[in-house]
Amino acid sequence: MSQYSLVAALIALGLASVFYVWQLLARSGTRAARVATAGGPSLTVALPTGAPASGAARYGTLLAANGLAFLTLWMILRSLYTGHGPFSNMHEFSAAFSWGILAAYMAIELRYRVRVLGAVVVPAAFGMLAYASTIPADQAPLVPALQNNLLLTVHVAVSIVAYGTFAVAFGAALLYLVRARIGEERLPSVALLDEIGYRSVTIGFPFMALVIILGALWADVAWGRYWGWDPKETASLVTWLIYGAYLHARTLRGWKGDRSALLLVLGFAAVLFTYFGNLFFGGLHSYAGVT
Amino acid sequence: MTRLWQLLLSVRTALVLILLLTAVTFAGTMVIQLPANIPLGSTDHVQWLEKVRPRFGMWTDLLAMAGLFTVFRAWWYQLLVVALLLSVGACSIHRWHVITREVFHPHVRVAPALFDRPGTDAADLALDQRTAADALRRVLAGRGHRVIAEEREGRIHVYADRHRYARFGSLIGHVSLVLLLATAALGSRVGWSDDGFVVPEGSTRELALDGLSVQVTSFAAEYYPTGQPKDFRSDLVILSNGQEVSRKTIRVNDPLDHNGIRFYQSFFGPAAYLRVTDAAGRVVFEDGVALAWRAEGERPVGSVRLPEQDVTAYVIAPSAGGKGDALISPGEMRLEIYRGRSETPVRMETVAQGEDLWAAGLTFTFVREKQFTGLRVARDPTVPLIWLGSSLLVIGVTAVLCFPTRRLWALVRPSATGSRVAILTVGRRDVGQTEEIAAILSGLPRLERTSPRSADRGARAAGREDRRGGAEVEHLGRASGSPASAVER
Ligand code: HEM
């Protein structure tokens, strides 16, 4: 049953990605008004008129919302089936990660009414879900260290919010960086992309702090030490520090534009590194218990 | 001294330090680190390097020389952390005055000329100055602002802010970083821990702390049908001078806590119950022997020293549960008996359960197979401070990022229509703030709006506006040395 909703979400997200990307590529139809202010810098205001491509984006939104609904349904069904949150193996983490990206994206789309971002972020959510569906779903039983329902659920749920918002920031930064290549008139104003990146990080940064702290709390309960320089916890610290650097650079040093966008891209690379880390640091997030 | 202080205060220093620390921490995740229980420069250290040499090849010595196998213990890593802490501390002290002034004694007046800049948001009202100022105050207060007004030279200056206490979030967040790292440093000094406290089931072992002993009444390991581990648990009794003071069944996620000393289920392995009798038939030893070390061929091994007889017995179990061990079959143990400091055993033999071995005038009986449990025992009284610091960090960071302080200055002047209200902010405005200013102005009983951008109000409502005006205000304020420069972030 839960597999059906996962497949439905996958299809919805795949189609949504197509519409979003098409909208971005065909966006030259949107009228962009250049308004020169007296004495001030000129502003680009993309008017949300009914250009043909915005129809495609609307389908994109509709499908992405459906994808989110199916994924939410999957999470509920999966939890009912396994008896704990859908956070216990790579299949479940990845589908939940996809949910996080999508939820963060939908919130930003609602807030800023910018659909262009979907062309980057929704395919990312789709990719994550596609990756999840390549991993066998059958639940490997939990090793003892992971048998802590409360901490496991909260730790992973919080990380999904952090990773989701960082994915949205990454999408905004990527559009920022490539805007010269695809033509500015297809994009929302540069300042808006910069703001979306920042706003996402303002949510993600405290959540990431919470992820690290909950991890430390858990390590203390399970192993009797809150910090042990385990590669996974160290990688999450690296991620957090990069976003910390970004906040200072942008807010205090006035790093705007490419440099701060690059930090966001770097930050998301660190997120992916942290996330997939287990695969190459060889299971050193040592779910110990036996040595 | 002042140069150093300036350096610590500089945000560029902070950035450089954070980025450097990020880079070396990243290096520490990419390169495998020497386990924390191996002392630097010890023979174990050398052996460990040989173990990783196949993986890093010719780079091994280079990496070792650069300290990349021991990043988190390196003096330069600690130096970086300390430098960052000093910088955070300096910034916090420095910001304290700025923030308390902004929160408790904000600048109310801004040079009137700044309100005449083109692009300033303004509205002409058909109200006299006082009534207009009152209306503005009501609108601002209705939107959750604190409002302070001052009349000066026929003009009414209005200052308003919202979420002003979130300014302290930045201080709390930064100070809690110092608290966290200072606590961690303290904890590594005053804390005590033993990572490999081994007790065979049925036995009691003394702890090198507070005269306590630990008795393990039983140990159990459960597996899933697939062979994956499911649960490990040890029944522990803590004894103080032979008296039971605490008791609990511990599991991997569920330690025992006795007066701040915590006992964690960490690992386990085989044990042998051994009895030794002398020629007179007197029992000189009867206890479990934990086979917690590894002998040749990955065989678990443990030892017993009998000081009176000056004899040491090694007990060796078959490797990996006995599968394919040519020397020792499952259920058997190999005993090797040494006298004094001799390197050659006086006797070595594989014995079955219940069988005796005669050596050095003693009888060694392998009574039965058992298991041992491996505990981590730790006491770190600073841990609660870590959770306090962590909570403060999250609270502070959330406050400053998710409830950003909004500040604005307004000037109400008489005009041809009655009065004119103009609003300034510092810093670049974001979409939320732009919408807020628009909503404040449209909340006033207005005659006519004179904002130059009234044409794109539709777009603004749709949240798509790019606004740069605020940044200019800040710039100008600095250039003219007007009070606005005192209110920049
Ligand atoms: C790892 C270390 C640090 C972390 C995690 C951190 C975190 C933060 C955060 C989250 C903000 C809010 C940013 C925003 O409003 O967008 C901030 C602001 C700020 N930080 Fe840091 N910071 C660190 C180190 C430093 C250092 C070393 C300095 C000193 C040079 C510093 C000085 C400031 C200042 C002056 C602000 C401006 C905000 C204010 O005081 O209201 N920070 N920091």
- Please indicate, yes or no, whether residues B198 and B337 belong to a single structural domain of this protein: yes
Asked whether residue B251 falls in the same domain as residue B141, the answer is no
C-alpha radius of gyration, chain B, whole number = 37
Does the structure show a pLDDT above 70 at B348?
yes
State the span(s) of chain A assigned CATH 1.20.120. 1-24+52-140
Residues B7 and B57 placed together within one structural domain of the fold = yes
* End-to-end Cα separation, chain B, in angstroms: 25
Residue for token pair 């050596």: B359
d(CA A145, CA A218): 9
- Chain B nearest CA to A11, separation (Å): 31
User: Is residue B388 in a domain?
Assistant: no
**E strand or H helix that includes residue A229:** none
If asked whether residues B370 and B324 sit together in one domain, one would say yes
Contacts of A117 (CB under 8 A, 6+ apart): A105, A108, A109, A168, A171, A172, A175, A196
The per-residue pLDDT for range A150-162, each reduced to its tens digit, is 888 899 999 999 9
Both B75 and B94 in one domain: the answer is yes
Residue nearest to atom 28 of ligand 1 (CA): B88
pLDDT interval class at A189 (50, 70, 90): confident
pLDDT at B47 over 70: yes
Our count of domains for chain B comes to 3
Mean pLDDT over A233-243 rounds to 95
Mutation site, A31, A37, A198, A230, interface B, largest B CB count within 10 A = A37
Same domain, B334 and B465: no
Shared-domain flag, residues B75 and B110: no
Contacts 24+ apart (CB under 8 A), A151-154: A151/A214, A151/A217, A151/A218, A151/A221, A151/B253, A152/A84, A152/A85, A152/A87, A152/A88, A152/A218, A153/A84, A153/A85, A153/A87, A154/A214
**Closest approach of B127 to chain A, Cα-based (Å):** 28
Chain A residue with minimum CA distance to B472: A40
Q: Is A177 exposed, middle or buried (0-12, 13-18, 19+ CB in 10 A)?
A: middle
- Ligand 1 atom at shortest distance from the alpha carbon of A251: 16
**Shortest CB distance from B230 goes to which of A144, A209, A251?**
A144
Question: B417 in a domain, yes or no?
Answer: yes
Q: What is the predicted pLDDT for the residue at A185?
A: 66
Contact A195 B431 (CB under 8 A): yes
CA B404 – ligand 1 centroid, Å? 14
Residue B245 lies in a domain: yes
Atom of ligand 1 at shortest range from CA of B10: 30
Q: How confident is the model at residue B57 (pLDDT cuts 50, 70, 90)?
A: confident
How close is the Cα of B323 to the center of ligand 1, in Å?
59
Q: Could you tell me if B374 and B429 lie in one domain?
A: no
List pLDDT tens digits, range A19-35.
888 877 775 444 443 33
Residue B174 lies in a domain: no
Taking the Cβ of residue A199 and every Cβ of chain B, the question of whether any pair is shorter than 8 Å is answered with: yes
Position B393 in a domain: no
**Predicted TM-score (pTM) of this structure:** 0.85
Write down which residue in B98, B120, B141 finishes a domain: B98
Give the ipTM.
0.86
Give the residue whose CA is nearest to atom 5 of ligand 1. A244
Which residues in B lie closer than 8 A to residue A279 (C-beta atoms)?
Answer: none
Number of the ligand 1 atom closest to the C-alpha atom of A241: 1
pLDDT in tens, A263-274: 999 999 999 999
- State the Rg of chain A over Cα: 20
Per-residue 3-state assignment (H helix, E strand, C coil) for B226-294: CCCEEEEEEEEEEEECCEEEEEEEEECCECEEECCEEEEEEEEEEEEEEEEEECCCCEEEEEEEECCEE
Q: Closest to A41 (Cβ–Cβ): which among B264, B452, B468? A: B468
Cβ partners under 8 Å of residue A76, min gap 6: none
- pLDDT tens readout for residues B321-343: 556 677 888 888 999 999 988 88
Cα separation of the two ends of chain A: 38
Residues B291 and B357 in one domain: yes
Question: Cβ–Cβ of A114/B472 closer than 8 Å?
Answer: no
The token pair at A36 is 């020169």
Kind and range of the H or E run holding B320: none
Same-domain pairing of B341 and B414:
no
In a domain, B260, yes or no: yes
Structural domain including B60 reads: 2-98
CB–CB contact B464 A213 (8 Å): no
B18/A145 touch (CB, cutoff 8 Å), yes or no: no
Cα–Cα separations (whole angstroms), residue B289 to A205, B215, B270, B427: 51, 14, 9, 71
Same domain as B62, residue B113: no
Q: What CATH number does the domain located at A1-24+52-140 have?
A: 1.20.120
| One domain, residues B302 and B206 | yes
Q: Are strands B418-424 and B293-295 parallel, antiparallel or unpaired?
A: unpaired
Give me the mean pLDDT over the B305-318 stretch.
Answer: 92
Q: Is B297 a residue whose pLDDT tops 50? A: yes
Q: Which residues line ligand 1 (CB under 6 A)?
A: A 205, 244, 247-248, 251-252; B 9, 11, 13-14, 18, 84, 87-88, 91, 95, 167, 170, 173-174, 177, 397, 400-401
Residue B169 included in any domain: no
Which spans in chain A are helix H? 2-25, 52-82, 90-112, 118-134, 149-182, 190-223, 231-251, 258-280
Phi, psi of A271 (to 5 degrees): -60, -50
Q: Which of B82, B98, B114 is the C-terminal boundary of a domain? A: B98
Half-sphere exposure of residue A62: CA atoms within 13 angstroms, side-chain side: 7
From residue A168, alpha-carbon distances to A161, B166, B266 in Å are 11, 25, 40
Neighbours of A170 (CB within 10 A): 25
How distant is the alpha carbon of residue A229 from its chain centre? 25
Establish if B415 belongs to a structural domain: yes
